[in-house]
Amino acid sequence: MAVIQVNKFSGVSPMTPPRYLGNEAAQTALNCPVWMGSLQSIRGASEITSPAPLTKSGNIKSIYRFDQAETDEKKNWFHWTADVDVVQGFIAGDTTERTYYTGDGNPKVTNNALALSGGGTDYPIASYDLGVPKPTGTFTTAKTTTVLTGSINPAPFAGTDSDLTGSIDPTASVDVVGVNTLFTTELAVGDTILVSSLIRIVDTITDDTHLAVTVAFTDVANDAAPEKASKQVVGVNTLFTTELAVGNSILVSSETRVVETITDNTHLTVTVPFTDVANDTSPVITPNLSNTTAETRVYTFTYVNSWDEESTPYAETDMTPSTEDVYPGESVVLTMPAAPSGSFNVTKKRIYRSATGTTNTSYFFVAEVAVAVTSYTDSKAGDELNEVLPSLTWVQPPSTLKGLVGMANGVMVGFSGNDVYFSEPFRPFAWPVQYMQTVGWPVVGIGVIDTTVVVLTKGRPYFIQGSHPDSMVMIEADVNQACLSKRSIVSMGNYVFYTSPDGLVALAPGGSSVVTQSMFDKYTWQALNPADMVGCMYENKYIGFFDTSSGNGGFVYDMVAKTWNFHNLYATGAYNDLKNDALYIIKDNELWKWDTGAVLSYTWKSKKFTFAEPKSFSCYRVQAEAYPVTVKIYRDAASIVSLAVTDDALRRLPPGLGTDWEFQLEGNTEVYNVQIAQSPTELNAG
């Protein structure tokens, strides 16, 4: 005797011939959560209206619920007609919900002020391009001397010049001969003498009529009125004690002298007297080239936006126009470009200059100015600088960056072509080029498992692992499965799921597999058009949507029970809202909420029970929590019963023999047992 009994209802395996399915498996499992054990219905989706949240025209593909403080699920939905990836920023102290996205032109950033203001509901209303642009344009420097306060009168040298006795014949030699002079009584070694407009310092004195000077006179005419020149200088309204120091050089009426002593604000002496020149109303400090060393400075500057995000510095191939050899007392005037063009919120410039150490050269902060300021004079001494330039490598991401994802360590990741890019941790505006890694195939999309980046390509997938972008290590995954659909990528649990040519893949560093390999072969899988699939996560299950030439729909893969069933809902995009523990889908360009609508009608068809010889089954029973349930029974593919049963009573089958027996259940109430027997006794025996 034989009894067909099914008291646990599982999913489908399309590649398996119906007669080789397990007793619990189905040929058809539509709209039924087969992971529950008994046969039940899933709930449909309910439309979000009053007002409709998605207002952009066109075929909407991407949605994101912004404003986590908003409790009304109908409000503040970002939506696009393109494939857009969105990540909320990990920004310390941010109260504006700064949010980053790629796929809508240049990589962008917005916040609650930009996204929600400006009128309308086509959110986000406004945004900035991501990052702070590198300064370009003409950037030059020029040295300038420091003008002293007041004026200086270098003659008559405070009235202390004195005439020497007799005359001096300054031949072209350091030796000097005097006529009727009194060198020994009127001069001393180190004194300065003025002879025929030439100033020389006394080196030795032999006698009253013979001496030597440190530098030879030229062969000039006899001077009948030589003088002992004074080193004293008188200032008018000057500030010698605060503006000068011993060793500084001053330029007065085209003559440069070194300061020897400073008596007070209006009196000083110089090492070599000035000649008798006119009063100078604009004296300046100049370099003392013989007693000081120039500091070679390279200047640069950065742009800074209103969020205090800083660009990489200005850096032309040839930095000569912004390089100066600066002596003490000199200032440097910088001429900079104005604000950059483009959609950026740049508000300031920060100026830096180099300071050479023993092992390397760093740039130190000099000043911050408004972005509109184009000129700045730097007169700071080196010991006033201590803040090092932080943004030397903080470049913008490439304009073609897409696939944006966020990691638990504050790093954002995206791709362009074969290249995978990483941001600075917790600085999503900065994308150092040296962090970039290149894979062997064009990248399709990216998933994340903790601090592991899963790179899905048109060839082999890769894992890039590490706690910081500067130490990431790339390894090849353990499966050779290309990714067909970027929108199928779902990071869920310790896996990243995606569609490949052979099936749905679950990728993980600890072991990867094609999870549908026991359900689908290549041909049954390709019939679902995996290149256009959309995937999302809901309650630890992979929810998929497909569109084929024969129709559209979707499926649910339970990663725990490892079951697969279909549903007849189709969506062009989805968003899993963790705050509300809800899955929102795009259906007919409107927003719907998954698993909140009316209970759907299921269809579950059993395997084909095949016997070695024809058998006649005479009765059947359907046990359910509620009725009616439509039952269809097939004998050798011919329908022999199609009935809406209303209770669990034994029912008779039309007489006849058959080798292949199947049954199908339709309804929306829970069924927990189906029996088909050759006799009532067998049926009642259960």
Q: According to the model, what pLDDT value does residue 158 have?
A: 44
Do residues 183 and 210 lie in contact, with contact meaning Cβ atoms separated by under 8 Å?
Answer: yes
DSSP string, 642-680: EEEE-SS--EE-----EEEEEEEEEESS-EEEEEEESSH
State yes or no: pLDDT of 200 exceeds 80: yes
34-48, 150-164, 310-324, 409-423: segment of lowest average pLDDT: 150-164
Instruction: Provide the 3-class DSSP secondary structure of residue 419.
Output: strand
Distance CA 405, CA 443 (A): 14
Mean pLDDT across 394-415: 97
Q: According to the model, what pLDDT value does residue 278 have?
A: 65
Name beta bridge partners: 509: none
Mean pLDDT across 193-217: 86
State yes or no: pLDDT of 33 exceeds 90: yes
Distance CA 609, CA 614 (A): 11
- What confidence tier does 447 reach under pLDDT thresholds 50, 70, 90? very high
191-200, 294-303, 611-620: segment of lowest average pLDDT: 191-200
Q: According to the model, what pLDDT value does residue 190 have?
A: 80
Q: According to the model, what pLDDT value does residue 358 have?
A: 40
Q: What is the pLDDT of residues 625-683, one digit of tens each?
A: 999 999 999 999 999 999 999 999 999 999 999 999 999 999 999 999 999 999 998 88
Averaged pLDDT of the chain: 92
Q: What is the pLDDT of residues 533-560, one digit of tens each?
A: 999 999 999 999 999 999 999 999 999 9
Interior angle at CA 292, CA 290 and CA 293, nearest 5: 110
306-325: burial string, b at 16+ Cβ within 10 Å, e else: ebebbbbbbeeeeeeebebe
pTM score above 0.75: yes
Which of these, 142, 141, 143, 149, lies nearest to 284 by C-alpha position?
A: 149
Which of these, 363, 487, 479, lies nearest to 63 by C-alpha position?
A: 487
State yes or no: pLDDT of 501 exceeds 60: yes
Mean pLDDT across 450-463: 96
Do residues 426 and 398 lie in contact, with contact meaning Cβ atoms separated by under 8 Å?
Answer: no
- What confidence tier does 360 reach under pLDDT thresholds 50, 70, 90? low
Distance CA 449, CA 446 (A): 10
State yes or no: pLDDT of 112 exceeds 90: yes
Q: According to the model, what pLDDT value does residue 406 have?
A: 96
- What confidence tier does 295 reach under pLDDT thresholds 50, 70, 90? confident
Q: What is the pLDDT of residues 48-103, one digit of tens each?
A: 988 899 999 999 999 999 998 888 999 999 999 999 999 999 998 899 999 999 99
Do residues 405 and 370 lie in contact, with contact meaning Cβ atoms separated by under 8 Å?
Answer: no
DSSP 599: B
Q: In what order do the strands lie in the sheet with 346-356?
A: 323-326, 295-305, 346-356, 361-370
**Whole-number percent of the chain with pLDDT over 70:** 96
Gap between the terminal Cα atoms of the chain: 13
Mean pLDDT across 445-451: 95
28-32, 351-355, 397-401, 594-598: segment of lowest average pLDDT: 351-355
**Whole-number percent of the chain with pLDDT over 90:** 69
Q: Which two tokens stand for residue 54?
A: 């998605």
State yes or no: pLDDT of 260 exceeds 90: no
Distance CA 103, CA 573 (A): 14
